[in-house]
Structure 1
Amino acid sequence: MSLAQNVEFMRQFSKLSGFNGLGAYGRSASAVPSPLVEIGQFGTNPGALRMFSFVPEHLQRAPALVVVLHGCGQTAAGYDLGAGWSTLAKRYGFALLMPEQQASNNGNTCFNWFDPGDTTRGRGEAASIRQMIARMVVEHKIDSRRIYVTGLSAGGAMASAMLATYPDVFAGGAVIAGLPYGIASNVREALNGMMQSASRPARELGDLVRKASKHKGPWPKLSVWHGSADRTVNPANANEIVKQWLDVHGLPSAPMSTADVDGYPRDVWWNEEGETVVESYTITDMAHGTPLGLAGGSDESYGAAGAFMIEAGISSSYHIANFFGLTERVSQPNEVVKPDTKSVARPAPKPAAPVVPSAATASLQSPELAATLWPRTTLIRHAKPPRTPKRNNIDVGAVITRALTAAGLMK
């Protein structure tokens, strides 16, 4: 691409994304007190990212880790303030990792989700995030079967990249106003994907994920969120993301269930064991941003409204954490926990897949980690399920309950 084309791209890109008007949730958020702590050393850091984390005083036993990726123009602290992830982490006892882009890598502080040098396994920004995860696993005894990733916009597209390039690391992910993995390899293709979102065959999209690593499954589950009035990232991208991961999971294109949640349609697909593995929320008439549910002061109210943090009557952060199976309250010392009727009403999350330790599990680590960072770390790959599920082991009652709940016929 010529210099003139790059200049024109950046001019249009800034207009599209409104990166100059982020207020307290963009670059100025550095002045806002934050519970996040910066960690300086976590490996070779080939993507030159900054690492921030939040670990609550009271962690669950074998705690989970959620990796949260901010949008363009934002900071880790700013996005945490807006989306409320550290508040969720404190309430439910999981650890939080929030990588942060630097202006030296991208002038709008977008994660470079379209650059193969940053979205290939073992390279660039993707490798830096993987190294951050390795440090968190070792330092805080994270359960390697309970690692998740989510992000907004460019952060959502980068979450797609992390799920595709490291499917052996993540149990699940959530993409908010993002894009499918592998549809762009330069800035012009990225802009076209944002504006037009050309429809691609499901098999082609699925192959982009399958070719990103040597992993053969099981695959991470996925939650997709998008506003129907988004003028920055075409809402059709949500359909393409869903299509991509349905193909990876070998699931049909038609939703197995559709129901309203907090007034918005949610499509659901589950696997043969009855576990929801793909879900998609369409936030009607919402523009580009992360949906918040602040009105009413319910237990699902997290974050604070601001630029690209939009009050919509539904808390995406809470519902994503619930989709990950993280919303069981942690008891504090000398505290009597009142029953959470919202949590009780939901079916209990299905236990994580069993883990079979083997010598091959060391392949979870990138070459940089093996050479420079955690030589004694052994992270465990999800065990591969049998090709033919044993029907006599399926809890039929639980499957029926999940189906009725997803259809809105049971609370």
Structure 2
Amino acid sequence: GAMANAALCAYPEIFTGGAIIAGLPFAAATTVPEAFDRMRGHGIPDVESLRSRLSGASPHAGPWPTISVWHGTNDRTVAEANAKAIIAQWSGVHGVPSNPSSVETVDGHKRLAWRDRSGRDAIELYLIEGMGHGTPLKVASGYGHTAPYMLDVGISSTLHIARSWGLTPLSRRQPEKAGSVKPAPPHQAAHRSQWDRRADIQAVIERALRSAGLMR
């Protein structure tokens, strides 16, 4: 997620659209300890600073890639505050208001969208209810299989992102009425929490950085 955002900010002229899953705002940290703090949601720069870092990353003046942000509400590795900071960072170049243009429920999860002056959804945010750190899947759709950080939560990020980019046939969204969202089956919730318990991602990253001599 963080690397996807970095690529979009540094080379916006290359991309028509991009997706950031469980990511960080661009240039929110300059050291490894700062990066871990940002992952926890601590010390995230203010909105104006984030926007300045994006606009200063390249001489590009537009048009800008559409942005699709995905984040689990139970992500204990990268705090949800980072998703909101990414939205704020990109809203400046897209010229969209701070409040979303629309809010709906898609496959049982909240989707917020910010439309630009042309009426297109320039930025969207999917908040995946109860999901930990990982990529959301809907195995029943035939796209993907569960694995560490590949989580079956009833919505396929791959499918929705591809549709938003026009890479797969569009099907009309069927927004669900408020209160109609059903909780994930107990066996799915247990499966997700099992992966969360099994893998301490931060410890893995720290060991890798120490092995490379980048962290003491």
TM above 0.5 = yes
- Distance in 1, Cα, partners of 2:97 & 2:132: 29
Matches within 5 A, 1:209-228: 209-228=54-73
Matched, 1:309 2:150: yes
Matched, 1:251 2:116: no
Matched, 1:268 2:113: yes
Whether the 8 Å CA contact 1:257–1:407 is kept in 2: the answer is no
1:303-324 Cα offsets, whole Å, 9 max, x none, are 1101000000000010111111
Whether the 8 Å CA contact 1:165–1:212 is kept in 2: the answer is yes
Matched, 1:345 2:187: no
Q: 3-state SS of the aligned residue for 2:105? A: strand
Matches within 5 A, 1:8-407: 156-295=1-140, 298=141, 301-328=142-169, 343-345=170-172
Could you list the runs of 5+ residues in structure 1 that have no partner in the other structure? 1-155, 329-342, 347-404
| RMSD (CA atoms) | 1.7
- Distance in 2, Cα, partners of 1:258 & 1:344: 18
- Distance in 2, Cα, partners of 1:315 & 1:205: 29
1:168-208 Cα offsets, whole Å, 9 max, x none, are 11111000001010001110111111112434332211111
Deviation at 1:248, TM superposition (A): 2.0
1:43-90 Cα offsets, whole Å, 9 max, x none, are xxxxxxxxxxxxxxxxxxxxxxxxxxxxxxxxxxxxxxxxxxxxxxxx
Whether the 8 Å CA contact 2:28–2:44 is kept in 1: the answer is no
- 1:285/1:406 CA distance change after superposition, 3 Å: closer
TM-score scaled by structure 1?
0.41
Letter in 2 for 1:210: S
Number of equivalent positions: 177
Whether the 8 Å CA contact 2:5–2:20 is kept in 1: the answer is yes
Letter in 1 for 2:55: R
Whether the 8 Å CA contact 1:258–1:406 is kept in 2: the answer is no
- Distance in 2, Cα, partners of 1:280 & 1:305: 23
- Distance in 2, Cα, partners of 1:187 & 1:289: 21
* Percent identity of paired positions between Structure 1 and Structure 2: 47
- Distance in 2, Cα, partners of 1:304 & 1:197: 33
Whether the 8 Å CA contact 1:257–1:406 is kept in 2: the answer is no
Q: 3-state SS of the aligned residue for 1:260? A: strand
- Distance in 2, Cα, partners of 1:303 & 1:290: 10
- Distance in 1, Cα, partners of 2:175 & 2:61: 28
- 1:272/1:247 CA distance change after superposition, 3 Å: same
Deviation at 1:218, TM superposition (A): 1.0
Whether the 8 Å CA contact 1:268–1:406 is kept in 2: the answer is no
Whether the 8 Å CA contact 1:265–1:283 is kept in 2: the answer is yes
Deviation at 1:407, TM superposition (A): 9.7
Number of the residue aligned with 1:384: none
- 1:247/1:322 CA distance change after superposition, 3 Å: same
- Distance in 2, Cα, partners of 1:213 & 1:261: 35
Q: 3-state SS of the aligned residue for 2:139? A: coil
- 1:248/1:182 CA distance change after superposition, 3 Å: same
Deviation at 1:249, TM superposition (A): 1.1
Number of the residue aligned with 1:381: none
Q: 3-state SS of the aligned residue for 1:345? A: coil
- Distance in 2, Cα, partners of 1:232 & 1:214: 33
Letter in 2 for 1:316: S
Q: 3-state SS of the aligned residue for 1:278? A: strand
Letter in 2 for 1:318: L
